[in-house]
Amino acid sequence: MDKAIAITGGAAGIGRALALHFHGIGWRVAVLDSDAEALREVSQLMPKARFLGLRCDVGREAQVRRAFERIATWLGEDALTCLVNNAGIADPYCGPLEDLRLGDWQRWIDASLTAAFLCSREALPLLRRAEGASIVNVSSTRALMSEPDTYGYAAAKGGLDALTHAMAVSLGPAVRVNAVLPGWIETGPWQKAASRKEPDHSAAARRQHPAGRVGLPEDIAGAVEWLVDAGFVTGQRIVVDGGMTVKMIYTD
């Protein structure tokens, strides 16, 4: 039986790298994304027989339900091996707290945390068909540390970490649940054509990382694949940041 993976926010950035990575190792890949243009682009990179692209706002319950109905039809009697809850709003900055509107706050929460809840709930019947099924939530090192004026983003990612261990305890042993916490990941080359850009990182940016460089989406894809295969790992947060969050930085 072929392995299958569903990736939210899978048409650009880290999600696109995940889609191409798992397609490259022989998996069937379903991508959910709200950006129609990016979804069309990524669909051209994979043969239709092993790819399903679905336009979906994963923070909206009805849209998520319809998307997973489509995935169930696409899979037939086969199982969903892994769900990656990767969707979220890339820009973390919301401005001063006193100016933050409830509707804007809710956008960050829905795009990441609510979306992970909705997609996990709908994916469960398909995941439970598999042996060794797993969910991987793409959180952020901003769940552990913050820059100013990033309240909604940090809260959504911190909530996603808590949801991870709550689901791991409740859904095991049938489904393992883990989180990957990316640090500074350069996604410019992995955007849709209209937004694509080549990175130009300074020596100072590289020096912030004990690993000596800024992260790549491929680094996250490798971590997700490892978690899919790590049958005795569940409820964990795996930080993938080149050591940035453990390096002490002093100012003069």
Catalytic residues: 153
Q: Rg (Cα) of the chain, in Å, rounded?
A: 18
82: which 2 tokens? 């892994």
185: which 2 tokens? 């990941």
Per the CB < 8 A criterion, the answer to whether 10 and 86 are in contact is yes
Per the CB < 8 A criterion, the answer to whether 133 and 101 are in contact is no
Which residues are CB-contacts of 91 (< 8 A; sequence separation ≥ 6)? none
DSSP string covering 143-189, please?
Answer: GT---TT-HHHHHHHHHHHHHHHHHHHHHTTTEEEEEEEE-SB--GG
